[in-house]
Structure 1
Amino acid sequence: MFLHKIKLAGFKSFVDPTTVVLPGNLVGIVGPNGCGKSNVADAVRWVIGETSAKHLRGGSMADVVFNGSTARKPVGQASVEILIDNTGASSGDKRLGGQYAAYDEISIKRRVSRDGQSVYSLNGKRCRRKDVTDVFLGTGLGPRSYAIIEQGMVSRLVEAKPDELREFLEEAAGVSKYKERRRETETRIRHTQENLDRLQDLRDELERQLQYLKRQASLAERYRILKQEERLKRVQLSVLHWRAFSQELSEQDGRVGTQEKVLREQLAEQRRLESLVETQRAQYSAATNEFNDNYRAVLDAGAEIARAEESVRNFRERATQIQKTLRKEEEASIEAKSHLDAEKNSIETLRQTLTDSEPALAESQRIETRTAREHAEAEASMQEWSEAREAIGLKVTDAMQAVQVQEGRILHLRERLANSGERYVRLQKEQDKLDPRGLQQEVQDLTAQLHEQDAVRTRAQSEHESHQSTVQDLRQRIRDIEDAINSARERFQEARGRLSSLQALQQEALGKGDGAVTDWLRENHLIQLPRLAEKLEVAAGWERAVESVLGAKLRAVCVDGLETPVSMLPDLREGSVTLFDVNGNPGKTIESPSPAGNASPSSPMGQGVTGAARLATKVSAPWPMDTLLAGVRVADDLQQALALRPALAPGESIVTPGGEWCGPDWLRVHRGSDPTAGVLPREREIKNLSDVIRTLQAEIDDREAARQTALQTREIAEKKQSASQAGIAEARRIHATLESRLGEQQTRFDEAVRRNQVIARELAELREQRQQARSNLTRMQQDLEEKIALKDRLISQRDAESAKREEHRQRLAANRTRWHEARDNSHRLAIKLASVRAQYDSLTQARTRDQDQVTRLEARCEELRQTLAEMDAPLRGLEIQLDGHRARRQELEAVLSQARQQVEKLDIAIRESDQKRHAIADRTESDRTTLEQMRLARQEILVRRQAIEEQVVAAGHAMATILDDLPSDANEADWEERIGVLERKISRLGTVNLAAVEEHAKQAERKDYLDTQHQDLVDALTTLQEAIRDIDKETRTRFTDTYEKVNIQLGVLFPRLFGGGHAYLELTDSDPLSAGITVMARPPGKRNSTIALLSGGEKALTAVALVFALFELNPAPFCLLDEVDAPLDDANVIRFRDLVRDMSDRIQFVVITHNKNTMEVVNQLVGVTMSEPGVSRLVTVDVDSAAAMAES
């Protein structure tokens, strides 16, 4: 098996589909640095299952996908496929067996997208990563194996600690699986010991519980007996109650009958009285109707009288009201006339007052107009003076403000000059303190530390991803193992169930269930002997034929001689048994058909059917079967058998595969149930199922062991993952701290540079500003002097104008006083005149109204006198009608009195009859209530008696039986006393665990089971300890052998690579099971004690020698070397290449190199170029063909 082709597409720099053809056993891959040579090695490692991005020189699995270049866009997925030649053309035999042995070429492909999800394919079919790794189990190939050697692996080997170096040797020796099994066995021992301890605790606790439960069970039994007796007594007491209720029920029936008779008599009397009351009520109704008619007539007469009286009263009241109104109107007319005279005198007086007041008001108004004009002139003069003085005052204020503003400006400018001077000094001091160069150096130091921490964080991240990938792989592996275990267990349970069913059917069919015969066989120690059917092997298809011929003989017990069993037959009382003497026909064992054996041995003439085989040829057994199958031939079907029947010799018969059996003059065909039917196929299936069960059990055990191993490995990997996660967190914390410090320091540096520049600009600006401020200060002081002179002149003018103010004020006050006096006098006269005019107008209007009122009152009085005269005649007519109505009502009242007396007499009679009816109804209702109560009491007695009957039946007793068993003098009091005694006995028992008996039995059974388990665990612990010793012995042997072989190979390869010297492996301890390994190397002319003292090239050669020594011990089909010769000089490279060339006769080498000496020995060169930036391409050269072409 060797690597034939590598197909890449989108993988790292191989963006275009590329095929690397490897036709020989020594192929070189060359090219300049950075062109993508090592990507070929990464592709092989990746496609066979590598899951750690760190080992692929990436940060994540998505980094293997081409990420674009200056001229190309990124691609979405990457794929790698390797084609492996499995014909054995180079190695002489096929390295892959099992299900892959039939394939001449095996294809393994892996595809990944940018989301990091990988898809594996095996021979074009999608598969799991586990399926891919399983292909290379035992071949030395794997993503982390020594078949792919790179400089990193060499350096790891050189720098490995003794314990780490031991792991390489253990892997080559195959000891790692033993160590894993030993760890698993130790874990099992620990778990078994823990289970033993827990089991012993359970047994001790169970023993204490059993003692306690035994006492409780005894108490529960005593409780059960007393409770059973109590229940019986209670049932008997209930029966006594039933008997008492039955007697009480008979007495109650008599009382109910008597009460029913009394109730019937009361009901008859009640109905008679009700009939009498109805008759009286009819008479009362007629008398009442007559009384009502008379009463309505009296009421009508009264109403007529009331209406007449009302009319008379209304006429009289109206006349009285009219007379009162007439008197009031006459009085009002007299009063109105007197008001007219008074108003006439007042009007004359007011008219004279108006004539006198109007000239005085005109004179006062003229004086007011003149004084108002004089006052206005004085105010105008005062206003002119005020405006003049205010103008001068404003000028003075403006001048003073201008002086103050100028003084403030001068003061502010002087303060600015002082502040700018102080700021100039502060800025100079601040500029002196700034140190940008020192801050820049600190920034550079922190940047270098941050880069170093980035590398540390990247390494920690890669290590964590590697551990994470390992944990995920282990989890998937555990899930796969658990799925396989569950599947195997399901098949195991199904097979075991099927086997149990078949064994039960087989025992029944073979008569092992016959009790008498089985007992006889067991008593005579024959029960363990096999039945005949269990020892027969019948050719496929002929089972029914053998069953038809042998029939019940298949149940026969196979014995070694009949003498002893026959002597025991008198002990067999019933049943039938068949015994088969296995030594009855010695010297003959039928195993296969004989060409000349067609004649039946029982045929007296030795002749019979020709061409028909004997049935005995279809049967194989540990002993001869001729005596049972003698003379029985076989035919393919019934027609053939019947056709051959005439040729049968005496004593011969012929049978078909379907079980039809015929002789010369007879035919037997059985259709239906037969106890022995299917015995032989069932026996074959039982044996097959037993083999399947054993195989499945072994598979389950193996997979359980693998699961435990994977669980332990996962636990270790998870601890490493947690540790790496903590390392990442610490690296991130340190990185964040450095970033923060760098950011702060960079900010401080930037701020210092910026501040230095700002200070320089400000200092220049301050110098210019101070020069300008000084010139401005001189100019502003001159301007201030001019403003002060102007202010003094304006203040003098303002003081002169202020002296005229009192003259203007006095003249304005005198004019204002005269104007106010004239205005008040005019106002007073105007108000008085207006008041007189208003009174005059009001009196005039009132006199006119009073004259109109007098005229209306006189007309009203005349109208009322006329109305009183017209009302006398109607009033006399109404009084006559009223007297007639009163006489009619007296007549009707006499008739109504007679009708009322008749109604009252009938009412009294009805009340008397009704009282009698109510009395008898009350007695009837009382009797009915009493009867109902009696009936309810009877029903209650009946229900309680029925309830007792149901309770007795529910308790599992019969009423008649209990009544017969009760003594004749039994009474309820005695039985209640007996029940009380039983209750006290039960109470004295205290709390009773009724389930103690059953619980004691269960716990005893559990105790036996735990005792058995304890012994099983002790035996298992002994077995595991023996297994530990065996594993240690095997590990010591294999490790020692491998150690010696690798030492020998290292001793051979080291001088070859160095041109002399010697090297060997040395154990750090005397115990091979725990000792570490160190490499002792002494190049020619040197006496170095360890490999650590060698130079870099010597270390690399020593590591190569050790790797090749391991490789020679367990060589893989091919080996991929990635620039292993890089640190070697020319002489060492030549020795290295010669060694590779010699080993290439047995192993396929793919060498990635820069060295020309190495290139000389390869058969074919594959050049990797990068003419397009970021994109790798191949150039292939067959060296032998090129050399031949050059020679020609």
Structure 2
Amino acid sequence: MFLYKLEIQGFKSFCDKTLLNFGDGITGVIGPNGCGKTNVSDAIRWVLGEQSAKQLRGDSMEDVIFNGCPTRKPLGMAEVHLTFKNDRGILPTEFSEVTISRRVFRSGMSEYFLNKTPCRLKDIKDLFFDTGMGSHAYSVIERQMVDNILSDNTNHRRFLFEEASGITKYKQRKTEALNKLDQTEGDLTRLNDIVFEIERELRSLARQVGKARRYQRLRDDVRDLDLALTADLITKLKEREAKAKEEWQEESVRREGVATELDTIEAQLNDQKLALLELERELTTAQGGLKDREEARVAAEHQVVLLRERATGLTRRAEEATDEAARMRERLIETQGREQEAQERLAEAREMRETAQGDSETNEASLNLLEQDLRATRAHAATHKQLSLDLFSTEAEKKGLCERYRERQIALGERRADAELRRNDQLERASFLERSLVEGTERRTQLEAEVESARAELAAGEDAITAANDRISAAEAALSQLKQQAAAADSRLRTLLELKKNFEGVSEGVKALLAAEASLPGMLGVVADVLEVPSEYLDALEASLGEASAFVLVENREAIEPALGRLRSLESGRATLVDLSALTASPRIDGPQHAGVLGRASDLVKCDERFRPLVDRLLGTVFVVESREVAAELAHLSMGGMRFVSLDGEVWERGRVRAGSGKSTGGLLHREMEIRDLSGKLADLSLAIEGATTEREQLDEARALAIETRDQARWMLDETKTALESQVRELSGVDRERGIALKDAEDRVKEMETHDIELEALARSLAEAEAELASFQSELDAVRAQLAEADIEVKAKEMARDEAAAKAQASREALLRYSREASEWETTWARAEQTVRELESAIKHREEEASQHSGRIAEIEAEVAGLSAGLTGLLESEGSQRERVLELQKVHIGLKEQVQAGEDAARQRRFEVTELGERLHMLELDRVQARADLDRTFERLRTEYEIDPEQWQPQPLPEGVDAETAPRQLEEARTKLRAIGPVNLLALEEYAKKKERFTFLTQQREDLHKAKAQLLEAIEKINVTASQMFSETFAKVHENFKDIFKTLFEGGDCELRMTGEDPMECEVEIVAKPRGKHLQSITLMSSGERSLTAIALLFAIYLVKPSPFCLLDEVDAPLDDANVDRFLNMLRRFGDRTQFVVITHNKKTMEAAGCIYGVTMQELGVSKLVSVNLDGVDVSHESRREAITAAIG
């Protein structure tokens, strides 16, 4: 494997695309200072993955992009491609040729490619692991790296040994394993906390689950019993509905017979009405004809007026057209005069234009001759100017060299000052870190105590949340029960109110009066609306009142007549009206003295005092008794005039009884009392629900507060733990930083000494460069004098040229002025000619318009005469039509009287139909009541049990339960269900989820324990393998280093030492003693000795693990000629196994190279390459030197 080629574009000073091909042996890169040859080294380091802009001699990665020069604009991108031949398979890839590429844009975006395929930086670093190649490996060596290898900071030396021993990837894997181990331990800690919390929650949920399961069993028993009893109730309600429907059909047949007679009478009445309608239509037509004749007469009169007005307007317009034609003739004469003037001025302008054109052509010819002479003189001056620029460029290079020396002096001075300032800062920082270490230890102790306190608060918060959840479950159950009761009561109330709103349960006549109550003064509703009856007497009093509960109450006699009139007009049926003002107090009769008598019915009813006479009249002779037996006995013993009603609604009187099966719940009194009870119940339930909701909200707030407290405690625990971990890490980091600060202070002292030496050398170089600059400036002054004379001659000829140009310009302007004037007069003449034509046409149009208006006036006068003659006929037709209308009106009055008689006969039959309709309505009401009860039952099935009644298949009573004992058993089951108290049904699902999560997390914890053990085992294996590899490589390099050191120094002694027991972390020290010297430290060696020592170590490593290529950037600069020879011998010795690219100023190194690239900067700020292959050149030094000189110009 070897380095094949390097392509650079836009990188630093290499603006254009630049290609370097590398062959075997040594390739040299040469050029003067500042030309950009070190940018070749930076390009290779950059494409290999260097991330430090400082290492590339910049402040940011944007600095590597070509930033422009006086002749070129900045570029937006830099890219480098580096190609290797992988024929020996050193790189872990199947490709025989590998190209790595890197791009960077000014936006900061960076791209990497591997064989033109986008990849990551990590992919490129992994490719070069343990190959000796990379941005920081020993394949790229520069002077700064020589200093770093021999500095007191042994990290650079250790990195070389790690790369040579091949343990870099092991250290990378160990770092990754340690990171994973830290992450695993952190995960275990968090997982243990979570598992502990879930275990505690599971214990609490287990108790709630048992209670919830008992609740579900009882709830299922209640459901089964309730549904079985509901199915029986549905069957009874359906039978009641069917019976009412059958009776309704029978009464409906009777009603149809009466309705047929009514239809016959109404048919005759319709015929009479049709005749009346036809007569009315004929009368309407006659009246319309009369109106049409009147409108025609008025229209004719109006048309005559309009025509006369139009004739007047046309006369005025004809006069205006004649006047305007006269004015246009005057304007035509004036415009013809302007047209003649424009023709004369146009001829004069054309003559002046031809004269100006001849003068312009003469002046242009003279100007062209002077321009040719000026160009020749300028070319002569340009030759002198180019020579001056060339000399000035050379002078600028000399000045630039001196300036760079001065800048280097300033930079080194600043770096020395920075090093001194850094040393003082590091000493001060070490002292500050020592104090921070003491304070941090105290803070760690405090945080450990806070962690324990936060754990206790978290446990207390969890207990509070559990207690709050239990209370919320109980409150939710109570609230749900209240809402179910309220929904049932509200549904029943809405049904009753709807029946009341539609006036169900009363006759059609009563309905009609109640519907019109707002428009009838003195209406007070029906009897049932004004009574208040205790629930235990409701059946008895409902039966006692009978139809009287639907009697309509009015205040006085005056209110009766409007009500009767409304009944007659609507023909809606019968109604009984009671005049309260006509009622007086009834005499009270004594009731029987019997233990079974509960009281007089009128005394058991509450009402307003003004209704008391009505109540006494209706119920004063009615007595409520305990049972039907008592009622029968008292009725038999009474002398008449009294009625006795049992609590179940049987009404007894002497010789008569009114009774029926079951309780009546569909009467007006029942309905009114139930509406009042339900309204009160709903109000009470609303208050209870509001209180329960408030309690539930308060419990939610309490739970939210408990959760917030728990979360705050958990957050505080996590924050404190994090702070503790951070504090421990910070203490470790502070201790480490203190050591680094002390070590850095020592390094800065050595750096200051190095800078002092470099400053002395720069002062000498600057003096030599300034002497060369002074001798060169005299030649430049002579060339500048010649250039000044040429400039004077150019300026004289430019003045002559400018005068001729001014004359030519004046001729052109005169020609342009006369041409413009001729064009303007041409336009004026054409415009005048067009205006003449337009005026002649307009005059003709106005004269024609006046003639047309005169003709139209004659036509209008003839039309007015015709309309006046037609008006006489219209007046005669209007009189005859008015007589026809009067005859038809007399016939219409007689026919209308016949229709009124027919309507009276139909009204009588309609009354009979209404009475039968009331009977049908009562039957329909009973059916509707049964259907309403059925619907409420269905609604309860939907709301309570979410059952669709249409698809429901009822189940029989559970085994061992009969129909008689089922209601009692249902109530017992409900009592047991209520006794359980609040139940958290969500606990069942929550317990299953928590249990599943607990099992999962427990398994995860076991997996983490296994992963931790595997990571520890892997780290141990990595330590053993890497330590062994490092020790073996170190021993081999040590022996090689001794041999090569003695070869380069022609004697002397050296040694490599490992300080520390762990090979993975130990430092590597170098002890070097050149022949005849006994130095205590390698820092006391000269620059040349330091370079040779670093080269000896580099080649000692190459003997163990050679790098396919090596880039040496001015490493030979400190060496004298003898040491350069020894250095070159080492390069030739390793040339068969390593490819060398050397950036150098040394002539001997240049002569040793097989191929040389010269870097020049012919264009300021832009580097160019010139290559020469020396493998085919004569081996003599003179021949090679001439070839090199030719290559770099």
Q: TM-score, normalised by structure 1?
A: 0.41
Q: Is the radius of gyration larger for structure 1 or structure 2?
A: 1
TM-score of the superposed pair, with normalisation by structure 2: 0.41
